[in-house]
Amino acid sequence: MSDTWIKTCERLLRQMKRLSDKKNKDRLDIVQSMRFALYALHRSLIGWMNWVNNPDIMATFNYEELEEMNKKITSFVEDFIKYDVEVTQLGAKRSLELEKARQRSEESLRRGPEETFYV
C-alpha cells in the first residue's frame, strides 16, 4: 500500500511541475493547474486523516516524530488559511465592484430620453 501511495504522489508532483512550468500559459491553463494542485492536496489530506485516525499507525511514531509532523502540518495549514483569507477578501472586493458596475449599467439602461434633462 505505501509503495503505491508514494509512487502516485511522485506522479502527482511531476504533473504539478509540468503544469506550473508550462510555457505560454493562458488563464485556463492556470486554473487547470490550481485545480490539479488542490485535487492532489485533497487526496493527501484524506490519506493523512486516515493515518491520524488510526491508532495502530500513530503508535508506530515516537513523541519527537509526532511533534515534528504536528509543527510542519500546523505551519503549512496556518499559511494556507492566511492565504485563503487574503484571496477571499480580494474575491469579495472584486465581486462587490462587479455588482456595483452591473447596477450602474442597469440603471443607465432604465433611463429613457424623457428622463434626460438638459439646461
Mean pLDDT of 3-23: 95
- Of the pLDDT bands very low, low, confident and very high (cuts 50, 70, 90), residue 113 is low
55, 70: one domain:
no
Domain boundary among 37, 60, 83: 60
Q: Residue 106 sits in which domain range?
A: 62-111
Residue (of 55, 35, 31) closest to 43 by Cα position = 35
The pTM for the full model equals 0.76
In a domain, 117, yes or no: no
- Of the pLDDT bands very low, low, confident and very high (cuts 50, 70, 90), residue 68 is very high
In a domain, 118, yes or no: no
1, 53: one domain:
yes
16, 29: one domain:
yes
Least confident of 26-40, 42-56, 94-108: 94-108
Distance CA 34, CA 104 (A): 33
Residues contacting residue 47 through CB under 8 Å, at least 6 positions apart: 5
Q: Is the pLDDT of residue 103 over 70?
A: yes
More confident residue, 61 or 109: 61
Amino acid at 24: N
**Domains held by the chain: number:** 2
